[in-house]
Structure 1
Amino acid sequence: MSLSDFEVLSVYEDTYVENESFIVDPSTIVCLPVEINPELSYWIFAGYLLIFLIAIPGNLMVALVIGTNYHSLVPSDIYLFHLALADVFFALTIPFWAISAMKGWVFGNAMCKLISLIQEINFYSSILFLVCISIDRYLAIVRAVKTKKKRQPFCSWLLCIIVWLLGVILSLPVLHNNAFKPLNLTKTVCYEEFDTQTSDHWRFSIRMLRHVLGFLLPLTIMLICYGITVSRLLQTRSFGKQKAMKVIVSVVSGFLFCWMPYHITVMLDTAMRAGLFSYTCQKRYSIDLALLATQSLGLLHSCINPILYAFVGEKFKQNFFKFLVKTGLIKRNVQWKSSRSSSQNSDITSTMM
């Protein structure tokens, strides 16, 4: 299921049927769909707009700084560059959902599919690039000698192409999204729409795909790679390696903070739909509100990474100062003092983070 779908409207599937020969009996509807409170809609709009205003310039800055140092890029820098691009494209879809929260989906069916697809592609791609970074850090720190020849820029660029293609393939199910007006509601929505006889099967399959490939598997790989890496770092007192460990903790914490609540809530929703516990309107509305809140955390992830780079990553700070010197925004002696105060970094901390 696409993050772009307002889960607070998930009861639509229980009340909307396109077949005109089927007449819905209101008395048989378990839970009638509920409009988003107008005041809440304004808060959603403001929150989404704030995320957009942070994510776009922040990630563009990251991509620009990395791009201006293309001659000295290591694999993790290349993955970070593509991660920043994925976050930019992801953030570009946010204004559409902000407007949709207030006025409903007013952009038509074609844009519903396109925006959903763009967001889903970059959702998968950004997470996969985080996995690539975790694997590269493991190779650079734990298996530095054995894998040095394999960690070439060409291989990294090729892997980035594969990640983008995989993101496209995994995102194809969101083409089921359509713009339609549900029963008893005044606003049009952009939401997944399946045949009523197979909706439960398709919804379950798509959610499992998203849970496994969009969260559980990436998280498992990141925890294994970073766990082994941290274990190795703890064996040394090198200042640079301790800095690298702080970056690792920040990246994993940011990922868990933004995405774990959403996936746990969706799992609860799936379990309730599957009848694993009783389905009541009160539980339905509570889960819908929880999904609405946790979706905002998921969107927030697109603007967290630039903040991590700016406040945690030593090499990124140095390259950012170099970029400011090149553009004439600061004097060279200021950049020299900043570089002098930073420790020299080995390949272990050579990532922009």
Structure 2
Amino acid sequence: MSLTYVFTDYYFENETEQLDLNLNTIPCNPKPLDPTAGAISSLILIANFLLAIPGNLLVGWVISSSRQVLTSSDVYLFHLTIADGLMALTLPFFAVALVWGWLFGDFMCKFLNLVIEANFYTSIIFLACISVDRYLVIVRANETHGTKQRKCSRILCAAVWALGWGLALPALFNDAFKLDEDSERLICTERFDIGSVTSWRIATRGFRHIFGFLIPLAVMVACYGITVARLLNTRGFRKHRAMRVIMVVVIAFLLCWAPYHITMMIDTLIRTNLIRFDCSFRRSVTLALDITNTLALLHSSINPFLYAFVGEKFRKKMMCLMQKKFRQERMSGSKVSRSTSQTSEGTGTIL
């Protein structure tokens, strides 16, 4: 996933390629982003940042402060909050770019898009890992969370991070440059200047769809489908409560990311001339990419609220930790107060 679609998404073809004068395939002239739309999108990104950072910090604090041994799913959820938090940290830069253009140089253009792309991959892969773990625990009755399994889950987390950053390397194609010579504003977007633009675009988007959506989605659907079928045959509700948060998290992911991937697939078909279009339709698809991209980025701030309002276990842990923190602060405050009082009395006696 690349945030560059939020503020621009035009054709950038090599100058050496022969132009096709067919009006059905010739690129549409780029138009600058409407200032009002840019300001609204910028405010949405800032709001997303302000919600995602404290929310994910809270979830991470609750999970890491647990006295109980963390299950594999807890470990994956913890790393999921890290991925969402890192993605949210990049949003203020792009919020500024929506209003004033790209101000942070070519290196930051590449690096920030690399961070977003990597954490997009890691987020959905961690969700797939959670679905597999829940399947093993409930369907396979694998209740053994010993030292060996916890070690394996941590090794798997390291592998997911490595895979996510590896798959994100095409983000290095992002450059900061002027859209035209007359413009003073820089933009940060993909620019393929090696080989065929169309081939590179199909390859990078194919990786994004296959490894960042379709394969993890297939794993989740298969694991949760079998798990739900097993739960329907059980009488207890304990396992149902354990699954509720994970199911809601997956559904939220689909609602946030599926529209973006579907729209991008349509955009790819247009760019490769597999479907006929006019400029009006092309610009409508670009606008849809902007809207669905903004919707997708909201996912990083939604997860913490899902845990807080849906997860009964999480709410209990959070309340216990807050009560404990409040008691510690009160005890600390009372000790300081008594110490101050005794010091004052002692001073008065000496004097």
Question: Which residue in 2 is equivalent to 1:6?
Answer: 5
Report how far residue 243 of structure 1 moved: 1.8
Shift of 1:129: 0.7
CA contact (8 A) 1:266 1:291 kept: yes
2:70 is the counterpart of 1:34: no
Q: Distance in 1 between matches of 2:293 and 2:148?
A: 36
CA separation in 1, counterparts of 2:298 and 2:148? 31
> What does residue 250 of structure 1 align with?
248
CA–CA distance in structure 2, aligned partners of residues 330 and 31 of structure 1: 64
Query: 2:83 — aligned with what?
Result: 86
TM-score by length of 1: 0.86
Map of 1:325 onto structure 2: 323
Query: What TM-score, normalized to structure 2?
Result: 0.86
Query: How much does 1:151 deviate?
Result: 7.2
Query: 1:327 is paired with a residue of what secondary structure?
Result: helix
SS in 2 for 1:179: strand
**Corresponding position: 1:113 with 2:107:** no
Partner of 2:284: 286
Letter in 1 for 2:193: D
> How many Å separate the matches in 2 of 1:150 and 1:200?
49
2:7–2:38 Cα contact (<8 Å) kept:
no
User: Deviation at 1:272?
Assistant: 1.1
8 Å contact kept, 1:8–1:289: no
Deviations 1:53-104 (A, max 9, x none): 1111000100011111164211110111110011100100111111111111
**Alignment check: 8 A CA contact 2:178 2:187 kept:** yes
Aligned mate of 2:214, from 213, 216, 225: 216
Q: 1:7 to 1:304 in 2, by over 3 A?
A: closer
Secondary structure in structure 2 of the residue aligned to 1:190: strand
2:202 and 2:268 map into 1 onto residues whose CA distance is 7
SS at match of 1:6: helix
Quick one: distance in 1 between partners of 2:55 and 2:98?
A: 25
Query: Deviation string for 1:270-296 (max 9, x for gaps)?
Result: 111121211321111000000000001
Deviations 1:149-201 (A, max 9, x none): 69721111111001111111101111111101112654211111112751110
Shift of the 302–277 alpha-carbon distance from structure 1 to 2, 3 Å rule, reads same
Q: Which residue of 1 aligns with 2:237?
A: 239
Distance 1:139 1:55 in 2: 30
The unaligned stretches of length 5 or more in structure 1 are 333-353
Root-mean-square deviation (Å): 2.5
Offset of residue 148 of structure 1: 5.6
Whole-angstrom CA distance in 2 between matches of 1:320 and 1:239: 22
**Greater CA radius of gyration, 1 or 2?**
2
Q: Give deviations 1:88-121, integer Å, cap 9, x for gaps.
A: 0010011111111111111000111111111111
**Does the 8 Å contact 2:72/2:145 carry over to 1?**
no
What is aligned with 1:131? 128
Q: Distance in 2 between matches of 1:29 and 1:155?
A: 53
Write the distance in 2 (CA, Å) between the matches of 1:38 and 1:267: 27
- The aligned amino acid for 1:206 is T
1:201 corresponds, among 199, 202, 213, to 199
Q: 1:44 to 1:7 in 2, by over 3 A?
A: closer
Spell out the pairing of 1:166-205 with structure 2 (5 A cutoff).
166-183=163-180, 185-195=183-193, 197-205=195-203
Compare 255-264 and 241-250 and name the one that shifted more.
241-250
Identity of matched residues, %: 47
Shift of 1:233: 0.8
Give the counterpart of 1:98 among 91, 95, 100. Answer: 95
Distance 2:103 2:72 in 1: 42
Aligned to 2:188, the other structure's residue is in SS state strand
